[in-house]
Amino acid sequence: MSQQPSEALDRPHRLVVLAGPTAVGKGTVSAYVRDHFPEVWLSVSATTRAPRPGEQEGVHYHFVDEPEFARMERDGELLESAVVHGQNHYGTPRHPVEAALAAHRMALLEIDLQGARQVRASMPEALFVFLAPPSWDELVRRLVGRGTEDEEERNRRLETAKVEMAAEDEFDVTVVNDDVRRAAQELVSLMRSH
């Protein structure tokens, strides 16, 4: 069903869940959407990961410690949550998503595969978009080229990416990230056309 218009594309989708393998450029594509399509509301995830240089609290993530993340989970404040790359906790704060949808905004969640599956269970009306690399070799190049992880971490992420690539068929539609601007425009046109 990937890359083919599926039945899911016939329904209105103000909520789009974007997932895909590690290093495919989900963050870059969603940053492009944030900067160029202000009509789209972007969910800001909570994470226990430390900020990378240049990352801002409340813009890229809500950076929280483990006890605070556990509290958010316990109190039902997260729409979905997952441990990504076997390391840090990530989760989508529930209320902002509900508020954006109540305000009739187009909303975009950029999350990992485990999270996407949880959202599918609770919000099946969303459109699930798989962001794919042009090829596996290109994905490896992007992961190595990013240079933000050490070798052990890189290998861990490549293992995760292999499993994630196999999940493409679970999604309603595939967008190939051959070019950030083009991929972002395709993503937004999927939201706009409904």
Select the residue interacting with ligand 5GP from 13, 14, 25, 26 (CB under 6 A): 26
Q: Is 22 in the site for ligand 5GP (CB under 6 A)?
A: yes
List 96, 114, 117, 140, residue binding ligand 5GP (CB under 6 A):
114
Tell me if 45 contacts ligand 5GP by CB under 6 A.
yes
The total of other beta-carbon atoms located within 10 Å of residue 29's CB is 27
Binding letters toward ligand 5GP, positions 48-87, x by CB under 6 A: -x------------------------------x-x-x---
Q: Which is nearer to ligand 5GP, 119 or 188 (CB)?
A: 119
Which is nearer to ligand 5GP, 12 or 155 (by Cβ)? 155
* Closest to 159 in 3D by CA, of 25, 22, 20: 22
Number of residues that bind ligand 5GP (CB under 6 A): 16
Contacts of 125 (CB under 8 A, 6+ apart): 11, 13, 15
Of 155, 148, 157, the C-alpha closest to 52 is: 148
For residue 115, state whether it binds ligand 5GP (rule: CB under 6 A).
yes
Report how far Cα 10 is from the mean position of its chain's Cα atoms.
22
The whole-angstrom separation of Cα 55 and Cα 22 is 18
